[in-house]
Amino acid sequence: MHAALLLLADSRLPAGGHGHSGGVEEAVRIGAIHDLPSLAAFLRGRLATTGLVTAALAAAACAYGSSASRTGWIRLNAEADARTSSPAQRDAGRTQGRLLLRTARRIWPSPALDVLAESLPQGAHHPVALGAVASAAGCVPGEAALAAAYTAVTGPATAAVRLLGLDPVAVHGLLAGLAPDLERIAATAPTDWEALPAHAAPALDLLAERHIRAELRLFVS
């Protein structure tokens, strides 16, 4: 395992991740998440849908990494777009990707990241950016997939701790319980673009659309 993976997956990476709840803020508002079991169900569902898709996109971007051309990045990003039906989620994903690239280009400068940033000035989707950054940092596709799957559940879990005052140790216990799933997803993430999964999560799409219209928002997404 490459040590840079730890930096990439760390919530302290200064790339704006703390502002995103991945649908948790809205789910808390409507009462869908209110305790540990309901959070556990949300995280399992998120991992099996968005988590799986983002892991595969990150792995594909990482594999594509150094051989990258403008048109290639635009095409891979279009694959991410096609798998994100909610406009609010597309915006949030591109914003997160843009912020990650802004940070990573200073930490791991590389021509491939420059090309990616220039090809998609509005921002590459977060998993695409994450995979590209993982490659620039020296990680392999399976590691990029692991980081993507991991952040797909840890960000929302932290948001739930902040919003509901849940016991942080109990929530980390939940995350530890998901570790085998994270490993399985990372190990099986395809890097082949034709094989990219497209699991949909209509509930997450609806939460994102409601969230963006809410009067009070503490999180970007």
Assess 216 for contact with another protein (CB under 8 A).
Answer: yes
Quote the least distance from Cβ 217 to another protein, whole Å. 5
Residue 220 binding another protein, by CB under 8 A: yes
CA distance 221 to 209: 9
Which residues, in sequence order, are CB contacts of 37 under 8 Å at separation 6+? none
Q: Cβ of 161: how many Cβ atoms within 10 Å?
A: 18
Residues 102-131 that bind another protein (CB under 8 A): 102-103, 106
Structure tokens at 51: 């988590």
CB of 33 to another protein, least distance (A): 15
Range 163-182, binding another protein (CB under 8 A): 163
**Angle, CA of 187, 193 and 197, to the nearest 5°:** 60
Q: Closest CB to another protein among 168 and 202?
A: 168
Q: Which is nearer to another protein, 17 or 141 (CB)?
A: 17
Applying CB under 8 A, does 28 fall inside the site for another protein? no
- Within 10 angstroms of residue 45's Cβ, the number of other Cβ atoms is 14
Q: Which of 42, 73, 108, 219 binds another protein (CB under 8 A)?
A: 219
Task: Tell me the closest approach of the beta carbon of residue 147 to another protein, in angstroms.
Answer: 17
Size of the site for another protein (CB under 8 A): 25
Distance of CA 200 to the CA centre of its chain: 15
* Cβ–Cβ under 8 Å, residues 135 and 108: no
Asked if 217 interacts with another protein (CB under 8 A), we say yes
Torsion angle of the four alpha carbons 204, 85, 200, 37, in this order, in degrees rounded to the nearest 10:
-10
Distance from chain centroid for Cα 146: 10
Residue from 4, 5, 17, 191 that binds another protein (CB under 8 A)?
Answer: 17
User: What residue ranges bind another protein (CB under 8 A)?
Assistant: 12-21, 95, 98-99, 102-103, 106, 159, 162-163, 215-220
